[in-house]
Chain A
Amino acid sequence: MPVFDKKDKSRYTAFTRRTLAMGGGMTAVFAVLGGQLYKLQILEGEDYKVRAEDNRVSERPISPPRGRLMDRFGTELANNKRNYRVLIVSEQATQGVSEAIDAIGKVIQLTDQQKKRVLGEIAANKKFVPVPVAENLSWEEFSRLNLHLPYLPGVQPDVGETRDYPFGKEMVHVLGYVGSVAPEDMDGDDGRLLDVPGFRVGKRGIEKAFDKEVRGKAGFSKVEVDAYGRVKRELGKDPGLAGQDVWLTLDCELQRFADQRLGDESAAAMVMDVETGDVLSLSSTPGFDPNWFNVGVTGPQWRELTTSDYKPLLNKMTSGIYPPGSTFKTAVALAAIEAGIATPDYHVTCNGRITVGNHTFNCWAWTTYHRGHGSLDVEGGIKNSCDVFFYETARRLGIDAIEQSARKLGLGAATGIELPGEHSGLIPSRAWKQKTYKQAWQPGDTLSVGIGQGYVTATPLQLCQQAARLASGKAVSPRLVHSVGNRLVSRPEAPKLDFSDEALTKVRSGMNKAMNEPGGTAFAWRIAEPGLEMAGKTGTAQVRAYSNEEHARGVTKNSALDWKLRDHAMFIGFAPVAAPKYAIVCMIEHGAVAAHPHVQMARDILTFAQKRGTLAKPTAYPVRSSSLPPRKEPA
């Protein structure tokens, strides 16, 4: 040891002691560090491993292809079209983003508005996120773009999928359309799928009603991401489950013909199978192009859709309610025969007017020709659509019997068709009036109901169902969906209607005479071709008054007012008369004019259906109906 002076020695002692103390302190610190490592890595290691994986692995949902909508013969009514589009990744656009967009603009057409939107989206996203510049390019544009790619850094061609409706507005009221996910579409069932950017959900019609089925099951791509969310590599992939095809009972060609035949009228028409209830066509005009909603409706388009008097957004077939007018007389006639009032000898003499209490009711013949129909039996009453006959018959029947009969024909209750937003119309009763108006039922009320006016309302869909029931004598209901994927939408066979064959035969005969006997109300517009003849019943639904709300909507132009004051024109029918297969309804809003355009439309549509043989052709369904008996071919 070196020689220390006394003071140095004490310093040395202090230094040594205190150094050792500090050594102890340092050891303690290392022990704390080691202990913390033990806690984090050994005790809690598994938890942190999970969290590191959560950080690293991101599951990106993949939207599966949406199921197609098919007609009965296998025609695609809604499918998925390749969406050729061009994307830009700003971090790869080495020559500058706006320069790259301008360069794209030299190859395909881009509006200034589009360019502005793209620049905005790029600014809002991280620089590695691909932003679509243009979508739904033609193949020609797309290939031109691919040719220029080497000179367009950061520009990526891409093929996505988009919903396509090849028949546009002709099918829109059945198929509906798809649109961007709105908060109310978040049903919690498959939220992950709904979160996929650009995902579309069904908004109306079959697209909405069967959205779950056609949507499919979300797949996912498991990717490794960095802290900024940039994808580094794919770790795994599950393509998901493609949506199921929905097979409709429609006949595409008949549907298109019917829609074109209705033209620009504010109208609705439907053809259905009288035995099964299969809906063969269902039209409501005017329609609109469902592809608009997929791409995004523009302001002017939306204004047009929402302000037009012709209500293009409304499915008048299922959601429009109208007084059924004289088509309702078939229900009254059935009630009268069933009640034993209208025996074979039962006759009512029409002098043009009838007085009940202190109110006089006019027959249409009186209003038009200032004369009556004379003495009529039930068939004559239907053939001539004599108001007096049915006023008197209804008066004798009373409202209860009429209500019962109408309900058997399916009026006053929703048909249960697979479309959202169906209305159920109204068949009044004593209890209903008491409850709604706090008034007792009056005999005059019964008379109005007797000719399908007053409180009675129905949707054209219900009237078509009524026509089918009259024709087949079975309680058929309309249905649109035959099968989903390979699963048959099973339906019990329709039971026989609770009317006697005699009553039904009488009413059918009346409807036959109305069409096919000289003097019948619709004789001028009959189907003359042998074997294709139809039976039918016209109706005029009076538009007596309309609500203040309609006035408030600005119906001030005289021309519009005139149109809106006209009566609605109704027609129900079936064909062929001898062995009915097709039932039809045709309605034109404010279309009750002497030329009976709605009956002409019905005539043409039913002629087309029969000549085409919609029900005779073999269907292309992937599964066969087993619950229904095989169809008897006409001899």
Chain B
Amino acid sequence: MAMRAYAAAKRTLSVGDKLADVNWGLVLLITLCAGAGIAMLYSVAGGHMQPWALSQTIKFLVGFLVMVGVATVDVRVWMSLAYPAYALALLLLVAVVAVGHMGLGAQRWVNVGGVDLQPSELMKISLVLALARFLHGKSVEEISRPLNLGIALGMIAIPAIFVVLQPNLGTTLIIVMDGCALLFLAGLSWWWIVPTVGSVAVAVPLVWRFVLHDYQKARVETFLDPGADSLGKGWNITQALIAIGSGGAAGKGFLGGTQSRLNFLPEKQTDFIFTNFAEEFGFVGSVALLILFAVIIGYGVQIAMTARSQFARLLAMGVTLNFFFYIMINGLMVMNLIPVVGIPMPLLSYGGSAMLTVMFGFGLLLSVQIHRQVEIPRHSGGII
């Protein structure tokens, strides 16, 4: 153990050593979740691998390799890449918004070398990296200084503004929540936190009035009274509730869900995939899935707490919270506790961008876990 610790500190661990050290229990749980997602995609396609399940399997396998690859890279390398990654993600975001404003309508994707890329997903990871790096060098007192706080808030606000312009309310929400959570964990003074929360309460009505798009407002209104217009705006959420509720205690059984198979569920393969799970596996299955998620998050918290550098701690908590916020917003959304904002359920929902982001995040988490002994001086900027 002492030798391992020494080797880790000196960055002389071999790839084999690193793989042996990976928390395979966590990897197993992640794979279980992704497996459940693939099973659901098989189910909502009426018991077919096409069009989603097979493709999602491939996406998961690619994501898995990315995760393992990312995990074996020294956490200090990620620290050095933090700012460039942030800069790149921001550039792509600006490009997407610019293209959108050139008359092609709302855009979320850029095509880079034949691959569709969603810069807002890239930004979630990049922001966590960049903020962790920025905050790594700051003591509790320094963080609460207006200049530093201003820089950190700027790092959050600038991408948030571009994402909301796309427009993509859900991702904006996650970016802002990720960033604020990191500031909080880094030790931001309560003297900042309490008044800010207070003023947000004041700002919300103003945002409602001047910032939100009509369809976003409609979603909020739907949330407030889904039954009022059950064939219109409230249709999605009404059908989602019927799917979840009709699952009852034990569920209708695998492939037994009628709401999705008969197309009553909207976006059944993406944002509303959890409702199909709840319909087929009932309360028992749904709670088991939530517990699975909670254990993964618990692992994440544990990894963060045992890391020896502030960067690694913040990075681990950043990606863990990112995962958690996905689950929270999606879960609250499909159960009609918050408005529909268009956030997928991580590992379950169909989609390559979200899968890659989440798996990349787990890769970083595992990198922190493997390199937990690495100490990084306060004023270091990484190793490359």
Q: Which residues of A contact B (CB under 8 A)?
A: 2, 5, 7-8, 10-12, 14-16, 18-19, 22-23, 26-27, 29-30, 32-34, 36-38, 40-42, 44-49, 51-52, 55-56, 224-228, 232
A10: chain B residues at CB < 8 Å are 139-140, 187
B11-19, B110-118, B244-252 - the one binding chain A: B244-252
How far is it, in angstroms, between the C-alpha of A22 and the C-alpha of B216 when the chains are bound?
29
B328 CB contacts on chain A under 8 angstroms: 26, 29, 33
CB contact between A15 and one of B139, B294, B310 (< 8 Å): that residue: B310
A495 to B: closest C-beta gap in Å: 64
Contact B301 A23 (CB under 8 A): yes
Q: Whole-angstrom distance from the CB of A252 to the nearest CB of chain B?
A: 53
Give CA–CA (A29, B181) in the complex, Å.
15
A22–B301 alpha-carbon span in the complex (Å): 10
Taking CB atoms, residues of chain B closer than 8 Å to A44 are 245
Interface residues of chain B: helix, strand, loop or mixed (majority)? helix
Contact of B249 among A36, A45, A51, A52 (CB under 8 A): A45
B184 touches A52 (CB 8 A): no
Other CB < 8 Å A-B pairs besides A7-B139, A29-B328, A48-B245, 10 of them? A15-B310, A26-B297, A30-B294, A33-B331, A40-B244, A41-B286, A42-B248, A45-B283, A49-B245, A55-B242
Contact A18 B185 (CB under 8 A): yes
| A47 CB contact (under 8 Å) in B140, B245, B304 | B245
Number of interface residues of B (CB under 8 A): 51
B246 close to A22 (CB less than 8 A): no
State how many angstroms separate the Cβ of A51 from the closest Cβ of chain B.
Answer: 5
Is B375 on the interface with A (CB-CB < 8 A)? Answer: yes
With A19-B305, A22-B321, A42-B249: A33-B187 Cβ-Cβ less than 8 Å: no
Count how many pairs of residues, one from A and one from B, have CB atoms less than 8 Å apart in the complex: 141
A49 touches B335 (CB 8 A): no
Residues of A within 8 A of B301 (CB): 19, 23
Contact assessment for B262 and A15 in the assembled complex, using a CB-CB cutoff below 8 Å: no
A242 to B321, CA, bound (A): 67
Residues on A with beta carbons closer than 8 Å to the beta carbon of B241 = 40, 48
Report if B243 contacts A (CB, 8 A): yes
Partner of A34, one of B243, B282, B290, B378: B290
Interface residues, chain B, with chain A CB atoms under 8 Å away: 139-140, 181, 184-187, 239, 241-249, 258-259, 261-264, 278-279, 282-283, 286-287, 290, 293-294, 297-298, 301, 304-305, 308, 310, 313-314, 317, 321, 324, 328, 331-332, 335, 337, 375, 378
Look across to chain B and name the residue whose beta carbon is closest to the beta carbon of A44: B245
Q: How far, in whole Å, are A148 and B218 apart by their CA atoms in the complex?
A: 52
Q: Across the interface, do B297 and A11 meet the contact criterion of CB distance under 8 Å?
A: no
Contact B278 A51 (CB under 8 A): no
Contact B262 A55 (CB under 8 A): yes
Contacts of B294 on A, CB cut-off 8 Å? 26-27, 30
A56 to B243, CA, bound (A): 11
Contacts of B259 in A (CB 8 A): 52, 55
Most buried by B among A22, A26, A36: A26
Q: List 23 A-B contacts (CB under 8 A).
A: A2-B308, A8-B310, A18-B184, A18-B185, A19-B304, A22-B181, A26-B297, A29-B324, A29-B328, A34-B287, A37-B278, A37-B287, A38-B283, A40-B245, A41-B244, A41-B245, A47-B245, A48-B241, A55-B239, A55-B258, A55-B262, A224-B258, A227-B263
